[in-house]
Amino acid sequence: MAYKKPESALVVLYDQHYRVLLLQRQDDPTFWQSVTGALEDGELPLETAYREVREEIGIDAKAHGFVVNDHGKQNKYVIRSRWLHRYPPGTVHNTEHVFSLQINSDLPIVLTEHLQYEWVSKDEALTRLWSPSNREAVSLFVPSVP
């Protein structure tokens, strides 16, 4: 197994009604999150953001004319102990690049890595998301309902 790079993209998705998309992890059903994934060799964080949206929910943002917003924000956090085996020995921190993306929730979502998804209010997302950095991204970058 190839090790994951300890650098990732977090993409907070919200729809035309300002609802947030939550994804339930397969390996930990109590863990709800936004789209996220590790950078591949030679890949820029923005490229990772587009790729992960396509891979995790089956929506090609570029083909639909959706633009991923790069917020120029990075988070550094301690990797959960249960996932350390995925990274090179001695790696304990991950650097996360934060993005957001507004999509149309009428588009079909095809999950490949998660058990289920839900569109929820911003307030509900803030109570259900597991990761503090994910909650912060929703708080900062998902607009409130006008």
For 67-83, write each residue's pLDDT tens digit. Answer: 999 999 999 999 999 89
Provide the pLDDT for residue 27: 87
Number of domains in the chain: 1
Which position has the token pair 């001695």? 90
Which position has the token pair 């035309």? 16
Those residues of the chain that have pLDDT short of 50 are: none
Q: No. of H helices and E strands in the chain?
A: 3, 7
CATH number of the domain encompassing residue 99: 3.90.79.10
Provide the pLDDT for residue 145: 83
* Single-letter amino acid, residue 14: Y
Q: Is the pTM of this model over 0.85?
A: yes
Provide the pLDDT for residue 28: 87
| Segments forming the whole domain that contains residue 12 | 7-141
**Is residue 117 assigned to a domain?**
yes
**Is residue 2 assigned to a domain?**
no
**Is residue 85 assigned to a domain?**
yes
Half-sphere exposure of residue 87: CA atoms within 13 angstroms, side-chain side: 20
**Is residue 17 assigned to a domain?**
yes
Provide the pLDDT for residue 46: 98
Provide the pLDDT for residue 21: 98
Provide the pLDDT for residue 3: 94
**Is residue 1 assigned to a domain?**
no
**Is residue 60 assigned to a domain?**
yes
**Nearest-angstrom CA–CA distance, 125 and 40:** 28
